[in-house]
Amino acid sequence: QLSGVTTIIVLGASGDLAKKKTYPALFGLYRNNFLPEGTRIIGYSRSKLSDEGFYERISGYMKTPTEEIKVLLSKFLKLCTYVSGQYDVDEDYQRLNKAIEDIENVNNSKEKNRVFYMALPPSVFVPVARGLKNNVYSKNGINRLIVEKPFGMDLDSSRKLGKALAPLWKEEETYRIDHYLGKEMVKNLLIIRFSNVIFGAIWNRQSISNVQITFKEKIGTGGRGGYFDEFGIIRDVMQNHILQILSIVAMERPVSLSSEDVRDEKVRVLRCIPPVKLQDVLLGQYTKSEDGTNPGYLDDDTVPPESNCPTFAAATLFINNDRWEGVPFILKCGKALNEPKTEIRVQFQDVPGNVFKNASRNELVIRVQPNEAVYMKMTNKLPGLSMDTVISELDLTYHRRFSDLVIPDAYESLILDVLKGDHSNFVRDDELDAAWKIFTPILHQIEEEKIKPQPYTFGSRGPPGIDEFVAKYGFKRSTQE
């Protein structure tokens, strides 16, 4: 933990991300006593707001189920203040700096640590990073900068952004958030893989037929269409959240759990993945729901009328190394689907020379959300006098197994990591580069050739071709489902 006095500065404090994620996560940490002693929080953004007006803005998303927590919230808000200012004006940053100094001086501490959280649109990343470095950087303590995606639009723009930020903030000071790395089940992956001898032995192409990583949301772009249209689902979810999960599923065992050892292995495996080819991609865009109550993507007034932007994508990646050669990693993600679900499904090979009629494969499923679970599909004898088989599950459903289950929010877990100076669950510069290399050619091709996504109905399982797509890569639905 940091010693001395710590100030957390949230840039973009009046925006959506700060309101929905950053402040609730900070409150969660405060409630559970994880903020360093004496921590204060300053919000900064362009909106002119009083402290009270600001509290009103951020309180709506704080969960206060009991009176006791309500009291804690009012105590927490007393630690929060607000400064308004422009993102490119040095004098405004100097006022921010003065506000921080006023707090630091009260505490009379020698070490003055500052954690900057940029909950901002990418257009202002560089001016803000510069304004902070030149005017608000602590000279007597630790400085850390948290950056939210998107980190560029492709390999080139990501490198440009990196080049602009690098002279200002060192890599050791920079924490690129991918909030999926803070999710409980994603953090569990390392443990499942590397502390269970049964998985270590079969985690390879000899035993595994294919791996599917699926991200499904029920909600559409809901009024955010104009923003989403610049990115599309591959940049919004696949290139970061899903690929991060893949890298942990596929990496070699790290030498140690130190952040550099973990990230070295993630980069190594990403570098073994050649760029995705168009033939291995299926794109979709949602149309209105069957009953007409949910509008289609193109019905959003903020979306260009002829937009080809995909709201669904499936892409199959291959990893050229001796563990994985030939094993398809099928990534699927989409909005406006039938259910919200993120899961990893590892499907094993057929049983060689099976003497039973059943032809179902073992599957290890790690459900990231909702209803966190790890379960293994296996074939069992149907109880009774016959030798019939039945597919059943070794089932570790969290809410049944762990009483008083409290799963921390991903942002809470990641902000705590920043406070501890632990980079393991943040994206390193070379990792980002490797991720963009995989997706940049296909993104350009889709845009240049104006490839039309397949329509799918809001609330459906996705484009009609999706079952055929996964079957093409060897995924077999179990026969008794």
**Could you give the residue numbers annotated as active site?**
241
Separation between Cα atoms, residue 27 and residue 120, nearest integer Å: 20
Q: Which of residues 292-321 bind ligand BG6 (CB under 6 A)?
A: none
Strand (E) or helix (H) holding 334: strand 329-334
Indicate whether 217 belongs to the interface with ligand BG6 (CB under 6 A). Answer: yes
| Interface with ligand BG6: number of residues (CB under 6 A) | 4
Task: Look at the block and give the residue holding tokens 């037929």.
Answer: 209
Indicate whether 148 belongs to the interface with ligand BG6 (CB under 6 A). Answer: no
Q: Residue 180 or 203: which CB sits closer to ligand BG6?
A: 180
Q: Residue 49 or 237: which CB sits closer to ligand BG6?
A: 237
**How long a stretch of residues is the chain?**
481
User: What is the longest distance spanned by two Cα atoms in the chain?
Assistant: 83
Task: Look at the block and give the residue holding tokens 């004006």.
Answer: 89
Residue 374 β-bridge partners: 366, 396
Tell me the C-alpha to C-alpha distance, in Å, between residue 171 and each of 3, 248, 293, 355: 22, 21, 47, 57
Instruction: Work out how close the CB of 103 gets to ligand BG6 at its nearest, in angstroms, rounded to a whole number.
Output: 31
Instruction: Work out how close the CB of 239 gets to ligand BG6 at its nearest, in angstroms, rounded to a whole number.
Output: 11
Q: Is the CB of residue 462 less than 8 Å from the CB of residue 233?
A: no
Strand (E) or helix (H) holding 61: none
Q: Residue 183 or 345: which CB sits closer to ligand BG6?
A: 183
Instruction: Work out how close the CB of 179 gets to ligand BG6 at its nearest, in angstroms, rounded to a whole number.
Output: 6
Give the nearest residue (CB) to ligand BG6.
Answer: 236
Question: Which pairing describes strands 341-348 and 363-369: parallel, antiparallel, or unpaired?
Answer: antiparallel
Instruction: Work out how close the CB of 107 gets to ligand BG6 at its nearest, in angstroms, rounded to a whole number.
Output: 35
Q: Residue 200 or 340: which CB sits closer to ligand BG6?
A: 340
Q: Residue 112 or 179: which CB sits closer to ligand BG6?
A: 179
Instruction: Work out how close the CB of 325 gets to ligand BG6 at its nearest, in angstroms, rounded to a whole number.
Output: 31
Q: Which of residues 384-423 bind ligand BG6 (CB under 6 A)?
A: none
From the list 307, 308, 312, 243, the residue with the least C-alpha distance to 283 is 312
Q: Which of residues 227-286 bind ligand BG6 (CB under 6 A)?
A: 236-237
Indicate whether 433 belongs to the interface with ligand BG6 (CB under 6 A). Answer: no
User: What are the DSSP E strand ranges found in 349-411?
Assistant: 363-369, 373-381, 389-397
Separation between Cα atoms, residue 127 and residue 1, nearest integer Å: 30
Q: Which of residues 163-182 bind ligand BG6 (CB under 6 A)?
A: 179
- Contact positions vs ligand BG6 (CB under 6 A): 179, 217, 236-237
